[in-house]
Amino acid sequence: MSSSVDMKTYIDEAEAALLHTYNRYQIVFDKGEGVHLYDINGKEYLDFCGGIAVFALGYSNSAYKEALKSQVDKIIHTSNYFYNVPAVEAAKALKKASGMDRVFFTNSGAEAVEGALKAARKYAYLKDGTTDHEIIALEHSFHGRTFGALSVTGNPKYREAFEPMIGGVKFGKMNDLESIKALVNDKTCAIIMETVQGEGGIYPAEPAFLEGVRALCDANDILLILDEIQCGMGRTGTMFAWQKYGVKPDIMTSAKGLTCGVPGGAFLMTEKVAQNSLKAGDHGTTYGGNPLAAIATATVLSEYERLDVLGNVRVVGAYLYDKLEELASRLGPSVIAGHRGVGLMQGLEFTSPVGPIIERCMSAGLVLINAGSNIIRFVPPLVITKSDVDAMLSILEKCI
């Protein structure tokens, strides 16, 4: 049997055994090295997807790999009945990186959003003793697939078949402060938004909008929840995207690059919210913050410092931005409808669906993903170099 037959065999077996909830590319990956992936036939792919904005450190970070291996040899799970050293290290490092006061570790991004919403509802409940508090979210947002996260996801297509949602959620528009103000009433307990919308098409919040939302929250004692699951962990050039705006959330969520591949996430809050929301018995998880996930977070954060990952994102992100601008002007407005984003989170909007371009890039050895039907999303590992950007662009341009 040739190895290409093997690939098809695995795909057929996967389709026979797994629930079909993903439309997958017809590739079975086997390993990663640096910023490259290799399929089971040994074909090399330059990775500008990073496991959907996850593998910030690329695939060959030896400190990360060794930390995980030695933790496997020690212990990988203890339960939250007990303390473990990696979770303490991870929480301390995350507090330092974010300036937030308290951390709750989860198993995924969606679960971090769930916890953030529960904390906001509890905060409001403790304030006025009632239970019908409302949350404002944004159109085109994405916060995950569990019920709470889905309820605040601003794309009706994801929600429709699963109604009713958690209730009390209203949707305003990104960068339209008046649309948010119009939704605020004395039942509003939180405004949740991505600092830079990811799945919805790479839309950064404008500074005036985020400042306005913060002021609105302050004036009405509403909690601002910033979802930094995709745009956080250095992707836009600061550790968390909101740090560039000088606007601090009351609660924030993190995942993806936080653990760089080991399932994990977190929600963090200020001391004020912590003192007035979730208490012992209100929230929990079996796995969240277990030693394996926690050592991943602690090591990721120390590697960010050692490698100056943020510095690299700023330099290479600016280079990518300029190169995509050049490409956009070469191709012209009949092909390119827009270019948005910052750092290593950028989107190139085409005038027609990008599926065929992405398929051709995959065949040519470049992994790219979309964000909406017409937008190619660039969310590579944060350790890519300018020459990786050049290599990506030369394949992409041939495939357009």
Contact window for ligand PLP (CB under 6 A) among 137-145, 308-316, 326-334, 360-368:
137-145
343 part of the interface to ligand PLP, by CB under 6 A: no
CB of 227 to ligand PLP, least distance (A): 5
**212/104 Cα distance (integer angstroms):** 28
Using the minimum distance from each CB to ligand PLP, give the nearer residue, 107 or 328. Answer: 107
Q: How many residues at the interface with ligand PLP, by CB under 6 A?
A: 15
Q: Which is nearer to ligand PLP, 381 or 395 (CB)?
A: 381
**How many CA atoms does the CB half-sphere of 206 hold within 13 Å?**
8
Does residue 238 touch ligand PLP according to CB under 6 A?
no
Tokens of 38: 């290799």
Residue 41 in 3-state DSSP?
A: coil
The distance of closest approach from Cβ of residue 3 to ligand PLP in the complex, given in angstroms and rounded to an integer, is 31
Phi, psi of 398 (to 5 degrees): -65, -30
- Give the side-chain half-sphere CA count within 13 A for 307: 22
Q: Does 230 bind ligand PLP (CB under 6 A)?
A: yes
Does 242 contact ligand PLP by CB under 6 A?
no
Task: Answer whether the bond into residue 249 is a cis peptide, omega within 30°.
Answer: no
HSE, CB side, 13 Å, CA atoms: give it for residue 394. Answer: 6
- Between CA 108 and CA 254 the distance in angstroms is 9
What minimum distance in Å lies between the beta carbon of 199 and ligand PLP? 5
The residue sitting closest to ligand PLP, measured at its beta carbon, is: 109
Candidate residues 39, 114, 134, 194; the one interacting with ligand PLP per rule CB under 6 A: 194
Q: How far is C-alpha 47 from the geometric centre of its chain's CA atoms?
A: 17
User: Which pair of structure tokens corresponds to residue 166?
Assistant: 């958690």
Interface pick for ligand PLP out of 227, 303, 349, 388 (rule CB under 6 A):
227
113 binds ligand PLP (CB under 6 A): yes
DSSP 241: G
Choices 89-97, 140-148, 203-211, 377-385; region in contact with ligand PLP by CB under 6 A: 140-148
Give the integer Cα–Cα distance in Å for 166 and 349: 33
Which of residues 61, 84, 108, 236 is near ligand PLP by CB under 6 A? 108
Residue with smaller CB distance to ligand PLP, 151 or 336 = 151
Mark 276-309 as b/e (b = at least 16 C-beta within 10 Å): bbbeeeebebebbbbbbbbbbbbbbbebbeebeb
- What CA–CA distance (Å, rounded) separates 131 from 122? 9
Q: Which of 134, 199, 349, 388 binds ligand PLP (CB under 6 A)?
A: 199
Question: For residue 46, what are the β-bridge partners?
Answer: 36, 366
Give the dihedral of Cα atoms 236, 252, 138, 22; nearest 10 deg.
70
| Token output for 33 | 């090295």
By beta-carbon proximity to ligand PLP, the closer residue of 225 and 328 is 225
Residue from 103, 136, 202, 255 binding ligand PLP (CB under 6 A): 255
Of 173 and 386, CB closest to ligand PLP: 173
Of 48, 105, 142, 321, the one binding ligand PLP (CB under 6 A) is 142
Stretch in the footprint of ligand PLP (CB under 6 A) among 65-73, 102-110, 183-191, 334-342: 102-110
Distance CA 379, CA 342 (A): 10
Does 110 help bind ligand PLP (rule: CB under 6 A)? yes
The verdict on 150 binding ligand PLP (CB under 6 A) reads: no
Catalog residues that contact ligand PLP under the rule CB under 6 A.
52, 108-110, 113, 142-144, 194, 198-199, 227, 229-230, 255
